[in-house]
Each structure stands twice: as C-alpha cells, then as structure tokens.
Structure 1
Amino acid sequence: MTSSPIFRTASAADASAIASLVESAYRGDASRAGWTTEADFLHGRRTDVTEIEALLAGADGRFVLLERGEQLLASCYIERQGPVCYFGMFSVHPPAQGTGIGRLVIDEVERIARDEWASERVEMTVIDIRAELIAWYERRGYRRTGKTKPFPYGDERFGLPQRDDLRFEYLVKDVKA
C-alpha cells in the first residue's frame, strides 16, 4: 500500500535535499524527465545549499515540502510580503510531474496564504517565454499582470542564459477569504 503524501515545513537539515530537487526540476539532463525544464535556455545552476540555508533562516519565509514516505516529491518557497504571499522556487520531482502533485502544492500554498497569513493574493514570477507553464498556472486561476522585470543577465546565481530575450512576468491570484 502506498502512503499518502504529507506536507511539512522544511528545517535547516533539509537544505541539501531541497537544492538537489530544485536542480533536478529545472536544470541539466535530469530535468528533461519532466516538463518544467529550463535546460534548453538556461545552463549552470539554479540554486545551491547556501542560498537555501539563507532562505530557511529568514523570518518571513518558509519552504513547504511534500513527501511520500522518505521521498521528497515537491518543494516551494513562500514568503509573507505584507498582504502578498510570494511563491517561488516551485519544484516537483521530474518523474512525478503531471501526476497532480503540483496542484496539491498550489492548494496548500494558497491555504497557508489565506488562512495562516491572511494574505490577499499569491504572487510569483515566471520567465515569460514559458508559455506552457504560464498556461498551467492560468488554468489554476493565476492571471498575467503584464508587469515584468528583467532577467539578471551576468549574475551566474540565476544561471547562464542561452538567449537574450529572457525576462520575468508577474502572475497573481486573489486568495482573500
């Protein structure tokens, strides 16, 4: 019998596992097993243990983990920013992508934002050439704002761009009860 997935808040001891999951979901050949890969237009790293540890140490944010048994299926970082819950670094284990895990995580993030933090909306940024990913978020009630911010070219902490037209677009969803 397969156990049900369980949510929990990450601790510092989870930093390495989170960094590995994020890397596998976005970069390199392992990411190609899923549909969220950025490997075709970004090389290099997506994150590292030091960045994850710094985020875990912050007062207003947390990593939400979804596990089944000992397996880390998904993680995301959320941060309270006044009336907004910022949602980022969303990663699902590539072989588990397309199985409904992502929907479970989004539902949990929205629950935390609304019920625990009294946030009015959830906000995220997505690289705007990711049409399939943006459409997936739109099917879950997120809307494009038209507000963008430039991709941090030259900052290797965000990867090594393979094209010169990358930028982030803000997506939002109202969650106020």
Structure 2
Amino acid sequence: MDNAATALTFRAATDADVDVLVALIESAYRGDASRAGWTTEADILDGQRTDPEGVLQVIKSPDSRLLTVERDGRTVACCQLEHRGAHAYFGMFAVSPALQGAGLGKVVIAEAERQAREDWGATEMHMTVISVRGDLIAWYERRGYRRTGEMSPFPYGEERFGVPLRDDLQFELLVKPLV
C-alpha cells in the first residue's frame, strides 16, 4: 500500500455495523488470527475483547461515536470517540491485522483527533492502555501521547472484557494535547 489514506471512507457506525465491528475488534486483539498483526493481546488476555452489546452501547450513546473506516466497501478499521467536556476519549481502536504496520492506524488516529477537535472543541485526547503493552504505548508516544503514570485497575472477574492470563494488568492513562 503506497498511501495508507488511499480511498478511505470515514463514517459513524450504525446498528447494521455491529457484527462486522465486533469481528474486526476481536480479530485485532484475540486468538490466533490476531497474531497476524502486532496489536494482539493474545498473550495476556483470553476470551472476548468486546461484544455486540458493548459496541451497540457506543453507537447509541449521544456523547460518542464509533468511527468506522472503509476501503473499497470493506470495514478495515474503527475507533471509539467519546466527548467528555474539554477532552475526548479514544478507545476500541482496531485495524484489520492484515493491514497493520502499513500506516493505516496513523491515518485513523489523526482523523479521530481532527474530529474531536473540530466537532467538539476538545483540547486533549485521553485513552487508557494496558500498562504492560510497551510496544503499543511506544507507538502512541510516537504520535504525541504522553504517559501520565495515572493507573486504573483492570476489571478482573468481568469476563466480558477478557480473561486475564496474568495478575499484573492495569490501565495507564495517556494524554495528547489537540491544540
């Protein structure tokens, strides 16, 4: 792929997208299929990454959107944007494993930041990343995010978020100014 932005369409997800988006998110993070890309969590979490109810909740929330990215009519990436006052929250980010490493993620996150800034006037983007995901955190740092050291607990015992394969998981808040 010469240009990661070639022929991409960005739109807000609808109810009709739920099954495709769940499959995309699962493929990027869980199971053997996720190992085709570099964002897999298969070594630290088993079980599901999300479910139809969780995706539908983001789609239906008045303060959020699930940005869906298509190329040639096929869903290739997505991310959650949530308006939280002066900042926006970025989550549920997934790029098809076969397309990871080619620059598509950079294009998607840049568009998400643009929309948060222009549509909501957000001055910062916040996200949480599992703190043991050093390679992923480094990727976000190269995009201008900074580690805050602010941690929140992993929801152990809530299998709808996955089945932990280790006992040291927690989330770290990453922040990027959007001005």
Please tell me the TM-score bracket, short chain as reference. over 0.9
| Alignment length (residue pairs) | 175
- The percentage of counterpart residues that share the same residue type is 54
Residue in structure 1 matched with residue 81 of structure 2 by the alignment: 78
In the TM superposition, what whole-angstrom CA distance separates every residue of 1:60-90 from its partner, at most 9, and x where no partner exists? 0001111111211100011000111000010
> How big is the shift at 1:12?
1.0
1:142 aligns with 2:132: no
Distance (Å, rounded) in 1 between the aligned partners of 2:151 and 2:103: 29
Distance (Å, rounded) in 2 between the aligned partners of 1:24 and 1:39: 10
Normalised TM-score (structure 2):
0.95
Distance (Å, rounded) in 1 between the aligned partners of 2:7 and 2:48: 31
Distance (Å, rounded) in 1 between the aligned partners of 2:21 and 2:65: 12
Structure 1 stretches of 5 or more lacking a match? none
Q: What SS is found at the alignment partner of 2:53?
A: helix
In the TM superposition, what whole-angstrom CA distance separates every residue of 1:71-128 from its partner, at most 9, and x where no partner exists? 1110001100011100001000001000111001111011011111100100000000
Residue in structure 1 matched with residue 128 of structure 2 by the alignment: 125
Residue in structure 1 matched with residue 57 of structure 2 by the alignment: 54
Distance (Å, rounded) in 2 between the aligned partners of 1:4 and 1:30: 25
Residue in structure 1 matched with residue 154 of structure 2 by the alignment: 151
> How big is the shift at 1:53?
1.0
Distance (Å, rounded) in 1 between the aligned partners of 2:129 and 2:21: 19
Q: What SS is found at the alignment partner of 2:144?
A: coil
Counterparts of 1:1-177 in structure 2 under 5 Å?
4-176=7-179
Distance (Å, rounded) in 1 between the aligned partners of 2:55 and 2:111: 20
Instruction: Show structure 1 runs of 4+ deviating over 3 A.
Output: none
